[in-house]
Structures are given as structure tokens and as C-alpha cells.
Amino acid sequence: MPKTKHITVEAPSNIAFVKYWGKKGHQHPINPSISMTLKNCVTSCRIDYHESDNFSLNSYQFENKENPDFKDRIEKYLTSILDICPTLKTRALSIKTKNTFPHSAGIASSASAFASIAMAIAEIENANNKTQRASQLARLGSGSAARSIEGPYTLWGLTHNIHNSSDEHAITYNDTHKNFNTVNDTILLIDTAQKSVSSSAGHALMHAHPFKESRIQQANDNLNTILKAMNEGDWEKFGATIENEALTLHAMMMTSNPPAILLAPQTLDALDKIRQFRQDTKQPLYFTIDAGPNIHLIYPQTHAAKIDSFIKTDLAPLCKNGQTITDENGTGAKVIND
């Protein structure tokens, strides 16, 4: 019996400020995106592995239970990367993952899951530049996962202003003002039911979208505005731009063929209250939304006292069972020595 080794990795989810929406080629984005890596919303992944004549995924457990659906997706993913990861061709793996946050809570669980698996594989193959390699492998599982390997801010996709940017893997954006040192993300769980449009199906709707070219231009412009605002510490410019990105993502979905309306009535109620609160108090509270009804509230931690009490009294009642999750920016995936 060959000797079994194991590796454990923890990787967080991330929340996009400029949205990746639409693919080209081999899992490359049609526009660059930038996101904040989270700290507490994490997938922990343990891979037990031994040498073998062929690649095999012997078992996949999610939250300590065999999960045939996830096993199928991960097996397809691992098989698809065998040619670029020759080490895996002679390894038999058993994978266990668990999340610190509820599944389908409007947090990108595929980002943290694929980032953790990819980071573990980069360790197993003892890659030269492990973070870059892990980001590339994560991208092949789920595009947004490429942005979860490092933190606190990562940029994925080629953009002319940033010389080492790439469609292959994410890089960190470190040129930020101290106003962006510690940033909160409080997630309003408006609805926790499974999404009616998967993000893969959503990306595909961009192929023939009538506004595709102007969306690509807008995403590039918004990226430049956000990079400059984060560099100068300008929360007003930053906030207006992330809100424009979130609403554009939904506008693109609503004007796709077939259309998708993923915002719930409570989402719109909450957006109204956020705008009013901002107008009344001048507090830097802004929102972003992914492909679902839940809202990510983005604000500097230095303003948390006033903003958190507003969230509790005015916004939490709009959530399913009053549920919210509070997180902040983090540093990315890490290997756990156990």
C-alpha cells in the first residue's frame, strides 16, 4: 500500500467591485475585474493523496458527508486540468471540504471551494510560484476563484494600465490609501434559496448581448475609476462606482435573451433605505450585489458603530429570518500545518 500524505488549505470567498460577467476562450474574462478578499467566509479543504498508476478521485465529502453532485463537478474539473498538471496523473485523491458560512447564502462558495482545492494542488505539485499557479488553476474551476488566493484586493484580467495584469491569473492591487486598510462587508441575506440562473448560464448570455461592447468599455472605465479612488482614499467616487457595477450587472441580466430578474422586492427596499441613510447622515455606506438578491454592504470599519446600528434596526428586518453575516478584508488562501 503506497504511503498516504495529506495537505489542508483554507481559502476565503471574495466580493467583486468590478464584476466579471462574460467569458471568452478558455475561461478568460471579457473584462478585467477587481475584488476584495474576505476573511471569515472560508472553505477548508483537506486532500489525502497517494501515488497510483492513474488519476482517481476516490471520494468527495462536503461538510463530512459524501456529496455525489459536488464529486461529479470536482472530478470533471480535475480531469480537465490533468494535461497541465501531470503530477495528478499518478495520484489518487480523497477530498473533504467544509465552509464557515451557509451554502447558498449569497456568498460565492464556488470561489472559496475552487481556490482551496487549487491551492492544495499547487502544493501537491510543488509549483514554483505557488500563488500564481493556484490562481491560474482556481480560475479553470470558477473564474472568480482566481481572485481568492491573495488579498486584500485582487485584480483579474488584462488591463493596459496595470503592467503585470493577466487573463490567466489574478494579481494583488496594493496601491491603496489608508482609508481602505480595513473594510467591512456585511451581507444582507434577503433570500437564501438556490439561484434561478447559474453564473455559468449568466456568463453565456453575454455572447450575443446587444450591449456587450459598451459593457466591456464601461467595466474598463469603472476599473480605472475604482483603482484611482482606492489610491486616493476617495470613498464617494469608489462607492458610486461599485454601485454602478452592481446595477449594471443586473441591467445586463434583465436585458439578456432570455431575461433574468434576480432582485427581490426587499432588495429594492433596502437600496432605497441605504440611499436615504447616506443622504441623511453622510456616512460612507455603499452596496454591491452579485447574481442574486442578497446585498453586500461595503464600508470602512472606522465608521462601523453608526452603520452597524442602522443595519440592525433598518436593514436586518428585510432579511430572511433577520439574517446578516459580517466579514472584512482578508489576506487570501493559506496552508494549515496539521
Q: Which positions lie near ligand DP6, rule CB under 6 A?
A: 16, 19-21, 33, 108, 110, 142-144, 199-200, 203, 249, 290-291
Q: Cβ 212 to ligand DP6, closest distance in Å?
A: 16
- Which residue number, 173 or 277, has a Cβ lying nearer to ligand DP6? 173
Q: Which is nearer to ligand DP6, 20 or 299 (CB)?
A: 20
Taken in order 165, 169, 174, 178, is the CA torsion positive or negative?
Answer: positive
CB of 185 vs ligand DP6, minimal distance in Å = 13
Specify burial of residue 308 (Cβ count, 10 A radius: 0-12, 13-18, 19+): middle
Closest CA to 215 of 35, 34, 25, 20: 20
Q: How far is the CB of 203 from ligand DP6 (least distance, A)?
A: 5
Instruction: Give CA separation, 56 vs 3, 63, 74, 257, in Å.
Output: 16, 21, 11, 39
CB of 294 to ligand DP6, least distance (A): 11
Q: Evaluate whether 185 touches 308 at the Cβ level (below 8 Å).
A: no
Report how far apart, in Å, the C-alpha atoms of 110 and of each of 145, 235, 312 are: 7, 29, 28
Q: Which is nearer to ligand DP6, 8 or 142 (CB)?
A: 142
CA dist list (Å): 81 to 131, 145, 291, 301: 17, 15, 27, 40
Contact between 297 and 185 (Cβ < 8 Å): yes
Do 60 and 236 contact (CB within 8 A), yes or no?
no
Minimum gap (Å) between residue 72 Cβ and ligand DP6: 15
- Residue closer to ligand DP6, measured from CB, 131 or 144: 144
Shortest separation between residue 183's beta carbon and ligand DP6, angstroms: 16
Where do we find the cell 461592447?
A: 213
Sheet with 286-289, strands from edge to edge, namely 286-289, 295-300, 183-188, 324-328
Q: Is the CB of 270 or the CB of 291 nearer to ligand DP6?
A: 291
Nearer to ligand DP6, 8 or 109 (CB): 109
